[in-house]
Amino acid sequence: MPAPIDRLRAIVTRLRAPDGCPWDREQTHASLRGGLIEEAYEVVEAIDEKNDAHLREELGDLLLQVVMQSEIAAEEGRFDFDAVAAEISEKLVRRHPHVFGDATASNSGEVLTQWDAIKRAERGNIDRSVLDGVSKALPALLYAEKITKRAAKIGFDWERLSQVVEKIREELAEVEEVLEAGTGKPDAADRLEEELGDLLFAVTNLTRKAKVEPEVALRRATAKFSERFRALEAVLHERGIKPGSSTLEELDAIWDEIKARRVREGGSAG
């Protein structure tokens, strides 16, 4: 009986064969990009759910993406799955000299500093920007967080959280200024986009400085909103109110009822 990973590789090779699956045979590195991103997010969702069965399934789907990408490259004689596994193994050993060598690192901060120095040395860009290597293909929120982390490594950072909060107030005031000037004026939309971007960037800086993962925080807030909005829909249904027929004031009143109920049940008032 072959090892599970060998069986998976054999299945993918069979699917990609001339007499295999037409859909699988048509796939390219580029055509699989969307699926790769989607599967990675579904892994995150399963982790948030704390559901082992779902996580196991989604990790398998993500692994399939890696095997498929490797198989496409192997067909073209460029590299194969073994080369991918070998390279990441060598990288892990190389970047953990405190485990596999004579270096020392007593805490995770020292580990990360050491990792970054080794990574930059490998790329031969020690004297180039510390921002190099941050993928522009990352989601905007994650990209902003990583950029601010890199800048902070050379001391370009706020000393206190209160300073970041003040920066947020400053950026919010500039957004309000654009809105008060009117969005119908020439270049107003472009300036509003710029100022809102500055505001989002400042908030991302605050999450980093406060050691809060912005992606996690935003997902949590969105999940909370979704739960309460569904509860609001349920109340409308119970009261025989057609969606879209209520005023904002009426909906806000129901929303406040739901929040108050959540507090009584031990939830957050936020």
**CA-based nearest residue to 168, from 143, 193, 202:** 202
Instruction: Check residue 111 and give its pLDDT.
Output: 93
The CATH number, out of the four listed (3.90.226.10, 3.40.50.1980, 1.20.210.10, 1.10.287.1080), of the domain defined by the range 140-212: 1.10.287.1080
Report d(CA 53, CA 38) in Å as an integer. Answer: 18
Residue 17: CA atoms inside 13 Å, Cβ hemisphere, count? Answer: 9
- Tokens 């406040």 correspond to what residue? 256
User: Which residues have CB under 8 Å from 88's CB, separation 6+?
Assistant: none
User: Which residues have CB under 8 Å from 22's CB, separation 6+?
Assistant: none
Count other Cβ atoms within 10 Å, centred on residue 77: 7
Tokens of 249: 């004031």
Q: For 25-45, what is each residue's pLDDT tens digit?
A: 999 999 999 999 999 999 999
Alpha-helical runs (H) found in the chain = 4-16, 22-26, 33-49, 52-75, 81-94, 97-100, 108-123, 140-152, 161-181, 188-209, 214-238, 248-264
* Burial status of residue 172 (CB atoms within 10 A of its CB: 0-12, 13-18, 19 or more): middle
Q: Are 115 and 94 in contact (CB under 8 A)?
A: no
Instruction: Check residue 204 and give its pLDDT.
Output: 96
Instruction: Check residue 267 and give its pLDDT.
Output: 64
Report d(CA 186, CA 93) in Å as an integer. Answer: 56
Q: pLDDT tens string for the chain (270 positions)?
A: 889 999 999 999 999 999 999 999 999 999 999 999 999 999 999 998 999 999 999 999 999 999 999 999 999 999 999 999 999 999 999 999 999 999 999 999 899 889 888 988 887 755 578 888 899 988 899 999 999 999 998 899 999 999 999 999 999 999 999 999 887 777 888 999 999 999 999 999 999 999 999 988 998 999 999 999 999 999 999 999 998 999 999 999 999 999 998 888 876 666
Instruction: Check residue 124 and give its pLDDT.
Output: 76
pTM above 0.85, yes or no: no
CATH superfamily entry for domain 4-89: MazG-like (1.10.287.1080)
User: Which residues have CB under 8 Å from 42's CB, separation 6+?
Assistant: 58, 61, 62
